[in-house]
Amino acid sequence: MSLADVAYLPETPAHDPEIDALNEEAFGPGRFTRAAYRIREGGPHDRSLSFVAVKGGAVIASVRMTPIAAGKGRSLMLGPLAVRPAHKNLGIGRRLVAMALAAAAAAGWASVLLVGDEPYYGPLGFSKIPYGQLSMPRPVDLNRLLIHEIVPGATANLTGEVMHVAQAR
Ligand SMILES: CC(C)(COP(=O)(O)OP(=O)(O)OC[C@H]1O[C@@H](n2cnc3c(N)ncnc32)[C@H](O)[C@@H]1OP(=O)(O)O)[C@@H](O)C(=O)NCCC(=O)NCCS
């Protein structure tokens, strides 16, 4: 496959069914029990910061961004990120993460957090959040709770339980 055939587009509602199928394929039914899913259940993701990769009219990868609150702090949660198996290891995941981070920075956000593999996300600018600073609505391996600071020091503004911003008082 040529990467020249892949278009990167802002997500629209028309992409929803294909994104659901992509996430089912990537994460299976167990995705509904994950801490990040529990947070995303609390309200909508931000389509203006969410992107798809499309080839031949079909969605082959997706990244979503959801506004979250932790104490008085506000941030974004990146995910799910999924690439169709036939298109893995071509840089599509990395490209979508970079697009989401650039869009977050352009929109004035100070940080982006996620639950994911540090060996993958570390080179993309994410690092571990100090243990004990944040809690999640379901158990997570704290080694997988990662943050990318757009504004240096922004992590310090996030404390306590992470929830969808719509759930915050
Ligand atoms: C993880 C995923 C999004 C990566 O997307 P991708 O487009 O295949 O990845 P990229 O092409 O950007 O990067 C590929 C590189 O990342 C590495 N990589 C992929 N998944 C990794 C992981 N979980 N941990 C560490 N490295 C990983 C590959 O080995 C490859 O390394 P190389 O460049 O040294 O060869 C994709 O494999 C996927 O959809 N997986 C299933 C869903 C998932 O796990 N999503 C992430 C949730 S945290």
116 lines ligand 1 (CB under 6 A): yes
92 lines ligand 1 (CB under 6 A): yes
The Å distance, Cα 93 to ligand 1 centre, comes to: 7
The Å distance, Cα 108 to ligand 1 centre, comes to: 27
Site to substitute for ligand 1 among 34, 60, 89, most atoms within 8 A of C-beta: 89
Between CA 118 and CA 129 the distance in angstroms is: 11
How far is C-alpha 84 from the chain's CA centre?
16
Give the pLDDT of the chain (169 residues) as one tens digit per residue: 567 899 999 999 999 999 999 999 999 988 888 999 999 999 999 999 999 999 999 999 999 999 999 999 999 999 999 999 999 999 999 999 999 999 999 999 999 999 999 999 999 999 999 999 999 999 999 999 999 999 999 999 999 999 999 999 7
- Structure confidence at residue 1 (pLDDT): 55
Residue nearest to atom 48 of ligand 1 (CA): 116
Between CA 63 and CA 65 the distance in angstroms is: 7
88 lines ligand 1 (CB under 6 A): yes
- Structure confidence at residue 113 (pLDDT): 98
